[in-house]
Amino acid sequence: MSEVNIPKRKEKCENCTKQCNKKQSDEGANAHQEREEVNGQEHEGSQLLLSACLSCDGCLSEEESLKISQQSLEEVERVLALNQKCDASKHKVLVASICPQSLPFFAVKFGVDITEAAHKLCAFLKSLGVQHVFDTTLAAGFSILESQKEFVQRFRRRHHDSHALPMFTSSCPGWIRYSERVLGSLVTPHICTTRSPQQIMGCLVKDYFSKQQKLSPEKVYHVLVAPCFDKKLEAVREEFYNSLLETRDVDCVLTSGEIYYLMEQRKVSVEELDSVPLDHVNRDFQEVTLERDGETLLQFAAVYGFRNIQTLVHRMRKGRVPYQLVEVLSCPGGCLSGRGQAVSDAEGRLDKALVQQMEEVYSSLPVRLPEVNPSLHTLYQDWLQGQDSPQAGTLLHTQYRSPIHTQPPHMQW
């Protein structure tokens, strides 16, 4: 870690507490005083590792300390216990999101590969009473795309905005806290405004997913598994709290070590855990926008499953469909989940493990763009006498007609 020099003037973080001052004074009295060069100037004083500064609780307010203390295994177990005792109308739906950076830890601890570690961890979380387990990869994708977009915007205004570049990323809460509390206006205007994958995942769960499930956000308890304690501090930031609904985007951050400790406490055997694939938060309704110079040119969507189709039709009736092209599939999860291959029993239940394996195989297939396929061009000429020929219009197209009796408007899928 880099080092922060503490001169005799003891310039501190603005909100540093008396305990922190006392701690550093005591340490300074016993430390060897030496002269050091910082930015070309000599200073006398002790050294404080940046890692020690960030891990110190001295600058936390009592309110922050209370909020962070509530992000614990005990709090999650309390919510689970309430679900077992209280009236069903007061239950909370537990959702867990796993950071991909946590998976190598579990892979090493479990002695398995990354994919199997994710499946084992998912099985354990669901055995506790967590209903849905996601990973944050999708949220990370949003974060990357938005950061890229912001960088381009900053680059274009670099000549008339002294704060435009360099742009600093914003996904590390330890770095953000240090910037806000110590570095201030020197750095903060340069920090990317894009939320971290953790907090974008919080929005996905509390906004998009809760609407999918027809739940109010406060009925969802969102746990995030992360590799870093600082992520707890990020989750309790005021801008990520909905005061109207009294709910946070991320209710509780648990570290990988805390989850593993819980497994040890409960004497969980990894070998006895099933291999359960993670859920998908955004598979059945996806949106893609084509932009140029900040202007939206085209909007596309993929809509899977009759519930989402119903939502699409409802929006059409209201004149609120902004898309120029929509892929529509009636099976939730798309064609790989077709009931001719993905059911596990006579009652028609979906075999999620099989679907997950099929998706992994399918995604590994090479992508070949049809416009560069020479066989297609040859057939257009030899079979259809050209791409715009009457034969192409007759053999490659059809028509769709409205039935005499339309579906009742009150029908629910």
- Residue 391 is predicted with a pLDDT of 77
- Considering the entire predicted model, what is its pTM? 0.64
The answer on 72 and 46 residing in a single domain is no
Are residues 151 and 51 part of one domain?
no
169 and 75 inside one domain: yes
Among residues 149, 136, 228, the alpha carbon closest in space to that of 194 is found at 149
Q: Do residues 27 and 13 make contact, with C-beta atoms less than 8 angstroms apart?
A: no
pLDDT at res. 228: 85
Pairing of strands 132-135, 93-98: parallel
Reported residue count of the chain is: 413
What is the pLDDT at residue 404? 64
**CATH classification at residue 164:** 3.40.50.1780
Count of the separate structural domains present in the chain: 2
Residues 189 and 235 occupy one common structural domain: yes
User: Are both 23 and 75 inside the same structural domain?
Assistant: no
Convert the pLDDT of each residue in 208-224 to its tens digit.
888 888 899 999 999 99
Q: Which of 39, 55, 71 is the last residue of a domain?
A: 55
Do residues 36 and 114 share a domain?
no
Residue 12, domain extent: 3-55
Calculate the alpha carbon distances from 55 to 39, 60, 216, 367, 375 in Å.
25, 11, 35, 46, 62
In a domain, 178, yes or no: yes
Same domain, residue pair 28 and 66: no
209, 235: one domain: yes
Q: Phi/psi zone of residue 192: left (φ > 0), alpha (ψ -120 to 50 degrees), beta?
A: beta
Same domain, 14 and 125: no
Q: How many CB atoms lie within 10 A of CB 118?
A: 23
**CA-to-CA distance for 337 and 115, rounded, in angstroms?**
20
Q: Which portions of the chain are predicted below pLDDT 50?
A: 1-24, 27-52, 54-55, 411-413
Residue pair 249/205 in contact by the 8 Å Cβ criterion? yes
Distance CA 369, CA 185 (A): 49
